[in-house]
């Protein structure tokens, strides 16, 4: 059975991010990676995409299919570049690594707005910081208020997150890696579209657009179908 390694993004942990991927377990083995700083683990003082990528790459087995959403997409790109020989495929949805599309006005604005928000946003109020962040990335998710404990911990992890606009993705390594790549976006944010378009070009990746759910791409009704079709074709062609 093919194994999918699923890496969640900011704020929400693995169980919440991949809540609608349960049906895929009928066809694939699923490994939901819980990144440091998220329940049930303890809080951390710093969230760093490079450190998380090393943790993910250490979990990879030969023939795995790596899937990353949002900040987890940044982590997945770096982990794939660290161990390209282990992978059978790579899928990312809206990774906010703006340097991938450096020079594109929308991507550059996205990166600068992120830097500004982390410098001037309400870091002493995790809920307010979270809501401002969700607006910035075009998320269709509206968390309850007050935040339940797991989401409060996720919001506190967000506050201490290393900005993904600093991520240097080794596109040359990924371009040369023989496994197929799939890039997903939601047609809701010009910055994300610019990043995903650049990944499509640079990596000769397949591209799918799943509109209507904002940044919460894994919740789209077609996400499982698109991912399963890609993974099965990658497995058949390996």
Q: What are the structural domains of the chain? A: 3-237 (3.40.50.1820)
- Residues in the chain with pLDDT < 50? none
pLDDT in tens, 69-124: 999 999 999 999 999 999 999 999 999 999 999 999 999 999 999 999 999 999 99
**Whether this model's pTM surpasses 0.75:** yes
Q: What pLDDT score was predicted for residue 238?
A: 76
Q: What pLDDT score was predicted for residue 69?
A: 98
The phi-psi region of residue 21 (left if phi > 0; otherwise alpha if psi is between -120 and 50; otherwise beta) is alpha
**What is the chain's mean pLDDT, rounded?**
97
């Amino acid at each position: 059975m093919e194994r999918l390694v699923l890496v969640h993004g900011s704020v929400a942990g693995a169980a919440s991010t991949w809540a609608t991927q349960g049906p895929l377990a009928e066809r694939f083995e699923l490994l939901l990676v819980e990144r440091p700083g998220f329940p049930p683990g303890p809080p951390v003082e710093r969230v760093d995409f490079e450190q998380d990528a090393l943790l993910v790459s250490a979990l990879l087995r030969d023939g795995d299919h790596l899937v990353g959403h949002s900040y987890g997409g940044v982590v997945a790109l770096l982990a794939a570049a660290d161990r390209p020989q282990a992978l059978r495929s790579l899928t990312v949805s809206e990774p906010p690594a703006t340097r991938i599309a450096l020079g594109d006005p929308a991507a550059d604005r996205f990166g600068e707005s992120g830097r500004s928000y982390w410098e001037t946003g309400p870091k002493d109020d995790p809920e307010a910081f979270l809501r401002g962040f969700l607006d910035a990335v075009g998320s269709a998710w509206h968390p309850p208020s007050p935040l339940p404990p797991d989401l409060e911990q996720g919001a506190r992890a967000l506050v201490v997150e290393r900005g993904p606009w600093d991520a240097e993705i080794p596109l040359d390594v990924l371009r040369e890696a023989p496994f197929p790549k799939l890039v997903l976006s939601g047609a809701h944010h010009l910055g994300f579209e610019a990043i995903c378009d650049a990944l499509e070009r640079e990596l000769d990746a397949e591209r799918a657009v799943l509109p209507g759910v904002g940044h919460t791409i894994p919740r789209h009704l077609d996400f499982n179908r698109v991912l399963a079709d890609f993974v099965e074709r990658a497995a058949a062609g390996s």
